[in-house]
Amino acid sequence: MTVSSSSISRASFDRRALLKAVGAAGAATALSGTFGISSISAQNGKVICNMVCESGASFVKNFNPFTPNARWAATHCIYEPLMIYNYTQGKLEPWLATEYSWSADLKTLTMPLRTDVKWSDGQPFTAKDVVFTFELMKKFPALVGSASGAWDDFLADVKAPDDKTVVFTFSRVYTPALYLLTNQVIVDQHSWASVPDPVKSTNESPVGTGPFTDIAIFQPQGYEAHKNPNYWAPIAIDGLRFKAYTGNDQIAAAVTSGQIDWGGLIANPDQTFVAKDPAHNHYWWPSTSNVCLFMNTTKKPFDDVKFRKAIGPALNRDQMVKTALWGKSTTANATGLSDSAFKDWIDPAVVAAGKGWVTFDAAKANQLLDAAGYPRKGQWRSLPDGTAMKFSAIVPGGYTDWVAVLQIAITNLKEVGIQVELKTTSPDAWATSVYTGDFDISLGSGVRGATPFDFYRGTMSATTSKPIGQTATENYHRYVNADADKLLLDFAATGDAAKQKEIAKELEKIFADVGPVVPLYAQPDWGLYTTKRITGFPNQQDPYAPLTNLGNWPTVLIIFRHLQAAT
């Protein structure tokens, strides 16, 4: 995926006018013409980082971090988590919490909090805010976040023995809770306690602990988040600017014309971006997840494992990588896990046994479909009851890489007698349709986590599946496997890394056998920047954090501390 919508998903956006009075002349400048690099903030001498991290023809003002369609700023620079898992460093970074400790029975998790944190309105941040956040998610189960479902699954209690300590108590041993709970953004009790329905709230005037909480400008064309005057860590730049782009083509034009400091996607970046200014223009695209083909398993024939497994060899992954990603990726293996992120976890035996499932072979796909009872009469196949096999594949129109991938997939499926129509939409509409289960086929990248647990929980578990109509930001294909759920329970019930690796191998085998989603290729973590105005970005030589600012990556908070004006 290229550009995101609140998280797209876990992605999204928003709009408004001017939140703060900045002078009549300045306001006129900000509200006239194109919202872009020459906006009022630049005229006032502020150092503003121009970013691309969400897409849409216009933004709607929504800074509710518990909704799937919140503006990017809500979960990345306004509200903060307790700790941050740094994928490039392979460790948890202290944030609002300074450390953690487990009880001997692994059923209690204690976290001391920083003592120097204030909310952006000047009120102190305390453990009561943390307790309130989790109690709010208990009271309103529809709220979205990394800790969604925790109360139904493993969380028994959250207490604040003092203002700077939080204690989580579990109903059962659940070691992955460390990552789910620490990744949850925390909101302030004094603002949210009076919100009647936090599920529907748009939280237009947010109060956060993050580095950029002042929404100084908001228009349908874009918005600016300026520095939190009470932020607890040094920040050298004054704010962030987000412009509304309709898709990758418009973003590419902005990148090549020098309007973007960080983010975006551009074809053949070596020639079209770096070569234009090698001293300043750079990109870094490591990969920690795979793009997969998602099929809605509540519908026929996607509920049939034989059908899903037949789709695997029908798809030409090499062509997808070459055409849609300019050769800057690799095809996925049968475990669904990232080769780079989980190289120490992947079972070579599962990869070898499942190679045929993820290798292009149209003749094999046809044989498997025939054997599974999907007859072909003329050009198209039908369901066993004779119903014509015709589906739709939905994708945001601006995601040019995903559009190209689905176009290839549709051509591949046509060759084996399956008719699929491509439907493009806005990122917000895509998120709504896919997350509520109103789709046939789409693309998605697996949930990133510190271990394979998160990916398999997000693709095969009842804990992440929701009834059609309810929002599921994971497992939106709605596949549940009882054997996988048992293994996930076993994984979570131990703190022994060796045991977890053995359990992960069994999960890998189940995934490769039942094909809940079809792995396609390694998703590049799009990261692009220029140092003409802003410096300090991570890169391959200094990988202190992932460079990407897409999706639900709180690691951008680490990067903000390194950014400064170019000298």
- pLDDT tens digits, one per residue of 544-562: 999 988 777 899 999 999 9
Of 430, 503, 498, 437, the C-alpha closest to 472 is 437
CA 505 to chain centre: 25
CA distance 454 to 102: 20
Poorest-pLDDT segment among 55-59, 65-69, 360-364, 488-492: 55-59
Residue with tokens 């903030």: 41
Q: What pLDDT is attached to residue 286?
A: 86
- Computed over every residue of the chain, the mean pLDDT equals 89
Rounded Cα gap, residues 560 and 84, in angstroms: 14
- SS3 state at 108: strand
DSSP string over 451-473: STHHHHHHHH-TTT---TTS--S
Residue 69's pLDDT is 85
Q: Are 4 and 54 in contact (CB under 8 A)?
A: yes
User: Hey, CA dihedral for 27, 33, 35, 40, is it positive or negative?
Assistant: negative
Quick one: pLDDT band at residue 246, thresholds 50, 70, 90? confident
pLDDT score at 84: 96
For the chain, domains (ranges, CATH) are: 24-79+210-285+526-565 (3.40.190.10), 80-192 (3.90.76.10), 287-524 (3.10.105.10)
Task: Judge whether 453 and 421 are in contact, CB under 8 Å.
Answer: no
How much is the pLDDT for 294? 97
* % of the chain exceeding 70 in pLDDT: 92
Distance CA 566, CA 534 (A): 5
List the one residue out of 114, 78, 72 whose CA is nearest residue 187: 78
Segment 82-110 shows an average pLDDT of 95
The two structure tokens encoding residue 30:
């900000």
CA distance to 331, 416, 514, per residue, from 312 (Å): 12, 12, 11
Sign of CA dihedral 437, 440, 443, 447: positive
Residue 106 has pLDDT above 90, yes or no: yes
For range 436-443, the mean pLDDT: 96
pLDDT above 50: residue 297: yes
Please give the residue that has the higher pLDDT: either 20 or 272: 272
Listed in sequence order, the residues at least 6 apart from 275 whose beta carbon sits closer than 8 Å to its beta carbon are none
What pLDDT is recorded for position 44?
67
pLDDT at 365: 98
Strand bridging mode 281-283 / 528-530: antiparallel
Identify the top-confidence range among 5-14, 121-130, 249-258. 121-130
Confidence of residue 7 (pLDDT cuts 50, 70, 90): very low
3-class DSSP assignment, residue 111: strand
Q: How confident is the model at residue 266 (pLDDT cuts 50, 70, 90)?
A: confident
**Between the CA of residue 230 and those of 76, 206, 212, what are the distances in Å?**
17, 14, 10
How far, in whole angstroms, is CA 115 from its chain's centroid? 30
Residue 87 has a pLDDT of: 87
Instruction: Give how far Cα 383 sits from Cα of 76, 364, 372, 387, 442, Å.
Output: 45, 19, 10, 5, 20
Q: What is the DSSP letter of 312?
A: G
In order of 71, 151, 511, the CA distances from 78 in angstroms are: 10, 25, 37
Averaging pLDDT over each range in 6-15, 34-43, 447-456, 558-567, which range is the top one?
Answer: 558-567
| Token pair 């369609």: residue | 69
User: What is the phi-psi region of residue 453: left when phi exceeds 0, alpha when psi lies from -120 to 50, beta otherwise?
Assistant: alpha
Handedness of CA 211, 213, 215, 220 (dihedral sign): positive
Measured distance CA(154)–CA(320) in Å, rounded? 40
Q: Return d(Cα 37, Cα 509) in angstroms, integer.
A: 50
**DSSP annotation string for 239-273:** EEEEE--SSHHHHHHHHHTT--SEE---SSHHHHT
